[in-house]
Structure formats: C-alpha cells, structure tokens
Chain A
C-alpha cells in the first residue's frame, strides 16, 4: 500500500545494540501508557504473589471457629467466614496456589503441546502433518469439558501438575492448528528456504527461525490459556465431578452453592462471593493486560 510509511523509520529508537533490554523497556512503556493496563498488570502480579506466598501467611490448617459461622464482614473477617467459621479471605488466599499453579501448568502444557505439534505439522508437511492433524481433529472434535470430566475421574488430581497436564492435553488442539497454519506460511517465506539452503538443521529452523516469529501469538495464547484453565478447573470443582481434597476457589463455590445455600441465604453470601470476586478480579486483570500484550505484539492494532 502506498500509504504506508517507510518501515525503517518507525523503529529508529531501537537502534540500540542491546535489543532485548529495549524490548522490556518498550513493554514497560506499553504497560504504563494506559492506567488500565497498569491496573491489570498490578492485579496479575498481586495474584501471582498470592499463589506463591499465600499459604505461608496462614497456618497449615486454617483455624475454625464454631462461634463465628457465617460471621458478617468485619475487621477480623474482611470477607466473612464459611460454614465452620474460617475466614473467607484466608480461604481465598490459601486457595489461590492450587488454582493458579494448576492453571499455569495447564497453560504451559497447552502451549508446549500445541506449539511443538503445530510446528512439526506445519514444517514437516506430508505424513507427519497428516498424522498430527488427524490427532488434532480428534482432540478438537471431542467436547473438551466433558472429556475433562471423564478424564478427571480416571486420574487423580491431588497434584496441580496432574490437573494442569489434563487441562493441557484436552486444550492444545486449537493452538496447534493455528501454529501449524502460521508455520506453513512461514515455511514458504524466503528466510526458511534460505536456512534450508544454508544447510541448517531442521531443529534449528523449527526452534530458532520459526518459533520466534510465532512467539507473540504464543505469548497471547499462554495468557489466554491461563484464564481458560482457571475456568475449566474451577468449573470442574464447582460441578463437583472430580475428586478433590484441597481448599481452592472451585471447592468454595461448590460448597457455598450446594452445601451452604449461599444462593438462598444472605448470611452465606460472602462465602459465595469471595471466590467469585477473586475470579472476577483476576479475569479483569487479564482482560486489561491483554490489551497491552495486543499492542506489544500485534502491529496491526498499534496506532502509528
């Protein structure tokens, strides 16, 4: 298009030998540009810290208090208490680790499976592609949530890694397909042909030449997969179709709705609202932050 500016000038500020650092600098500038993004970023950081350090803030077994069942919101219980008089805030904070760690693992597995299979299918066209794509079709055809439910009863979800793994193996299909099509189009690009002509190994081409170019897409997907995983696992616990043993947000929702009658009784409402609030705030944070990622990586939306 004739309207486009000469490409060279837009990036003059990055004429800095240490490009990597300047990327982080650029990323940070993108974040602070709008207050919404900063808020989103802060929320994500807060929740990450909660996941890492939350359990250390409270005793291993949260204290119960039969005299403060469904206590109203107070300084002692900022989010009220549950059916046995345990602080809802403590439950949310200590429950974050499993939820977030499993979600992170789920996202990592999704992205790792999806990326590797997508790259291989797109690059080694032919038989490899056919086999991988048939498996992908299969994964995409089976409704993932019900599959998750069935898998989860066969598996034991004591460890968040196991949960993450199952979330990963049910969720990589879409990403694999997208990465494949991007890889296929990159494959036709001159620099891949040149790399082949220069005798570089397929491994180098896949992971050093192609991967960085789908990196931005994968980064976005990683974040989206985190939210997707949170919803899926919290949903599983909420429905109660999986065995559970640890305190987490989904269990709270389940107990609040099905045991505590939070839907019918205002006294138990804080018990229901606490995990919902946590999920919503985290969602909000991710939505706000996605906007920044979008700008960091999607040149199409970047306003010149």
Chain B
C-alpha cells in the first residue's frame, strides 16, 4: 500500500503544477507601487548577513543602507554632495575639520532616533574595517545629540577627507556598539601611532591586529532583522529576489511614493537584458550590451534610455617588462594599427564612445582639465598602417613573407588576454587580433576563465597585452593611479609613497613604466610621484600636474585607451513616472536616493 500512497503524492503534485496556470501569472510588478530593479553591486546571497560591512551582505546601498551624503560625481568638485543622513555640514580649516548636522527626525526602522553617537560608532567600525585610516580620520566627537565633528590626522591635508567621510556607512550603535569593546577608541588611537618609540610601535602593531579581529567579527555579524535608517527596509529574500518595504520611520517618509522594492538577482548581463526586454525592471543600472539588445530593449513599451557622464575607459595595456613592448616604437605602432572606430563599433557600440586622446583620462574630462593648446599637443594616434610600418622599420623590425620579425630575429606573435564574461573585452580582443594578424603580427585572443585568475596572472607578468580599466574618475588621483599607481609599483605605505620594482613579482608592478618620462617639450617628470601628489592638492593646484600626467601618458603610451564608457541606464515608465532625468548628480546615485528626494511616482 505504501506504493500507492507514493504515487498519489506524485499525482497530486503533478496536478498542482498543472492547476497553477494563469492565476499565478501575476508578477510582483502587477501591484503598481512595487518598484523592481537590480542590485548592481553584488548578488543576493541567502545566508549572507544583513550587514553592510559584509561584501555579500544583504543590504542595499541607498535603500536600507545609509550614509551621511550622496556624491554627485563631479569631476572637479569633490565636495558636491546631496544630503543623506546629514542635513547640513561645514568644512573648516582648509578641509581638515568637518562639522555635520544630522537630519532632524532621522530614525531607525525600529523607531529609535539616529544620533551623533551612532555616527561615532560607525566611524569606529570604519576603523576596524581599515576604511577610516584610508582618509586619515583623526578624531570624531559628538558635539550634541545631532551634531558631529570630524578631524583629520594632525599634519595631513588629504583633499578627499570630506568626500570619504560622507560616504561612510552609518549603522546603529545599539547593534554594532555591542560588537566592540568599550575601550575601542583607545585601541584605535594606540593603533594609529606613527612615531619612533619602539614600545609604542609594538603596541600599535598589537592593537592593529586586535582591530582587524574585531573587524572580522563585525563582517560576519548577522542582525536578526534589518535595521535601516533609509527609505526602505528589507523584509524577505530568496536566492532570486529581495523584497523591501517602505520604512515608515524614514525622516522623509512623506516624500517616498514607492511602497515596495524588489531587487532581482543576476549572475550575468544577459539576465539583466532579459528582464529589461520583458519590461520587468523599473530601473536598470549600467550594463554592457550589443546593439541588437539595445534595439530589443527599446522596443519594449515604457523602456527609456538615460545617459549620464561616466569616467571610465577601457584600454589595452602593455607589460613593458616583456620584449618587444618595452620599445616605445612598438607601442606607438600598435596604436596606429588598431582601428579604434571598428573596435568600438563591434565591441561596445551602445555604452562606449571611441577614445580620442589616450591621455589617461576619459575624453569628457580632458577639456575640463586641459587647455585647447594642451589638447592639440596630444598625439591622436590615428589609424594609419603606413605610419606603423615606418615606425617598426625604424626600430629594426623586418617584414618577411608578410609577417613581422622582431629586431632579435624572432617572429613577432602576440596574445591578447581578456576575461570570460567580459563580453566587450573579448570582442575587442578578437577584432584587434584580426587587425594585428592581417598587419603581419599573428595574434590570438586568450580568454582567462575568471577575473580573479586574470588579475593574479596579470600581476605575475604572464600577459604582455591585456585589457585594463583606466581613466577611472572623476577625481584626478583616482584616474591616474590606474596607470601610475599600484600597477606601476607605486603604493602608499604608512602614508608614504614607495616604489616596488618590476622584478619584485609579489608587489603588483606589471606595467613597468619607466620611472621618469621625458615630455615633448623636454621636461622630465616622475609620473608616480606626480600622481601621488594629487592627493593633497586643491583643484586649482592639480591642473598643471594633470596636464603633465596627461602628456606623459600620451607620450609614453603605457596603455592605449580604446573606448570610454558612457553611463547608460534604463528606466521603465509604464508603472512609474517622474524619474530625475535632468538631475545628473542624483541620477548617478541609486534609485533609493531618488525616492528619498521625492522622485519616482506610481502611474495613477
């Protein structure tokens, strides 16, 4: 009889499957106040804690994860912020002291108020994560229950001090305070010691370890419920979706018109495309895509493309430690061989524009930093095979039977490395390979299975030609440290610049750019040091330095910028209207920030 029971269960489950046809068709978007989007920063992970300090934690930046303010991505004004938990702020003493007033009426989702003490605790947490040290936070003081004062480490003039502290995650003291010992500030202060007293140095070492251990504990901390000071709070989640509801205690709850937010999980771009083609996403973040997909997406009712500036470029980087790429002529010749127009058209037709200058910045930033005369001085490296041939012949290369021989007599072959899943890179690598091969340099695209393997092998100098993200802006330091930073051996250790040679395989110098570069007008510069110096300069002070760096990057050509990304995102207007389409600074922030500012209304 057991057998029949078994079968009955099966049969009934079969009927269940059959019976749930159309009735269950209604998707979560049917209720018009549910806003569906994608979390571009990390996937949804069941089992990961609802903890913003965990890199896979289930909290959503701008929705239930709050900070003092939201950066507007201005290239030249690092202090342009939209208020977050901070309603007002004063930058004093040349940027070394900052006073912040909290939003009146800011509350956690359990009804408790957000206080200055929460901010102080959050900064302690930031120390345990190593984050506060990165912007030289010296001290934090609650001036009143709603006002906090921040000071930079004495003697430091880090120009992004305010920028960084505004972007620190604020968490409730009643949750995270418990995780740290009561003498946490003593530990922090002792660990910060940088003098020459050996005993104090040893103590600092010990305290740093202690701090790291506390940090680990904090990242694994799993609160029972999501506690949010943002417009939403996480209610439930499964491996495919996270479901957030409006936080009634949010300080600007009356401005928030959206009742629920659903985050879709994704593991690859093609999934986001599918969601958009199905018209299921009310807002979708930046995603690389081919033209056919763009057409398909725009074909769907309500989908709208929104373009904002972006400060990212994709480049082909040379490992100058590998022959023959140590020769400037070779790098420049390749720049003439590669038809960047064709590359962009095939690889990144939708969210990319052909790069003009190869000066280390995105083209949108170049006019903001350089004068037109300086721009004219840049070599455009136009597609010109003849020029490339001349340069190579001059450098001692020879063409035999249609293929190039290197000056050392060996045939010149090449491999261009990219990463699986990075479709634009792969496609670009294929196109460039074709171009180089038909020019007489047999070239193959090589696709590494995972990004982590790619980066490791890159650092181990296994690749001569590889793809790299450069021009990461908007700030000048962030931009140039992609070229003349850690990948060139320049690292900041204990607040000081150190240069590791190419021969040290463990320290990440895989570009091996000469330490000094002679510019067109004869000046010799050290780009690593110049880049580092940008950190402590005002915008005005930075201008001449950026100009020198641009000239250096253009002349020495450590990497060829192939295209600049444009930040294309999508919104769907069938269920919601009133997106902040004309507010570029806001658009660069998550949709939760828009909603908190009163944008995004359900279609009535």
Asked if A and B touch directly (CB within 8 angstroms), the answer is yes
Chain A residues in contact with chain B, CB under 8 A?
60-64, 66, 69-70, 83-85, 152-153, 240-246, 251, 254-255, 257-261, 263-265, 267-268
Q: Is the CB of B274 within 8 A of A240?
A: no
> Most chain-B Cβ atoms within 10 A of its Cβ — which of A63, A242, A245?
A245
Give min CB distance, A246 to chain B, whole Å: 8
Pairwise interchain contact A69-B289, C-beta atoms closer than 8 A: no
- Asked whether A243 lies within 8 Å of B449 as measured between CB atoms, the reply is yes
CB pair A259–B274 under 8 Å, yes or no, is no
State A241–B430 Cα separation when bound (angstroms).
19
Q: Are B290 and A83 neighbours in the complex by a CB distance under 8 Å?
A: yes
Q: Cα distance A265–B446 when bound, in Å? A: 27
CA–CA, A254 and B346, complex, Å: 17
Contact call B346/A64, Cβ cutoff below 8 A: yes
Complex CA distance for A61 and B441, rounded to whole angstroms? 11
B residues 429-454 in Cβ contact with A at 8 Å: 430-431, 433-434, 437-438, 442, 444-450, 453
Q: CB distance B448 to A261 under 8 Å?
A: no
Interface stretch (choices B149-157, B415-423, B573-581): B415-423
Minimal beta-carbon separation of A85 from chain B (angstroms): 8
Which residues of the partner chain A approach B345 to less than 8 Å between Cβ atoms? 66
User: A255: which B residues are within 8 A, CB to CB?
Assistant: 423, 426-427
Provide the bound-state CA to CA distance between A122 and B80, in Å.
78
Known contacts A84-B431, A264-B277: A243-B292 contact under CB 8 Å: no
B270 interface residue per 8 A CB criterion: yes
B415: A residues at CB distance < 8 A: 245
A257 CB contacts on chain B under 8 angstroms = 270
Say yes or no: A263 contacts B274, CB within 8 Å.
Answer: yes
Please report whether the interface of chain B is mostly helix, strand, loop or mixed according to DSSP: helix
Q: How many residues of B contact A (CB 8 A)?
A: 38
- With A64-B346, A261-B290 known as contacts, the answer to whether A240 contacts B270 (CB < 8 A) is no
Give the Cβ gap from B299 to chain A, nearest Cβ, in Å.
10
| Residue in B289, B291, B430 whose Cβ sees the most chain A Cβ within 10 Å | B430
Q: Which residue of A lies closest to B346 (CB)?
A: A84
Contact check: which of A62, A254, A259 meets B427 at CB < 8 Å?
Answer: A259
Q: CB of B252 within 8 A of chain A?
A: no
Among A85, A153, A267, contact of B453 (Cβ-Cβ < 8 Å): A153
Knowing A84-B434, A259-B290, A263-B270, the reply to whether A245 touches B427 (Cβ < 8 A) is no
Q: A60-B437, A66-B346, A83-B427 are in contact. Are A240 and B292 (CB under 8 A)?
A: no
CA distance A253 to B592 in the complex (A): 37
The answer, yes or no, to whether B494 is at the interface (CB within 8 Å) is no
Contact pick for B296, options A63, A254, A264, CB 8 Å? A264
- Give 14 A-B contacts (CB < 8 Å), ordered by A residue: A64-B430, A66-B346, A84-B430, A84-B434, A152-B449, A243-B448, A244-B420, A245-B415, A245-B446, A254-B420, A255-B426, A255-B427, A261-B290, A265-B293
Distance (whole angstroms) from the CB of A75 to the closest CB of chain B: 22
Q: How far is the CB of A274 from chain B (nearest CB, A)?
A: 16
Given contacts A61-B433, A153-B453, contact A258 B423 (CB under 8 A): yes
Q: Which residues from chain B contact A84 at a C-beta distance below 8 Å?
A: 346, 427, 430-431, 434
> Would you list which residues of chain B between 270 and 302 have a CB under 8 Å from chain A?
270, 273-274, 277, 289-293, 295-296
The chain A residue with its CB closest to the CB of B415 is A245
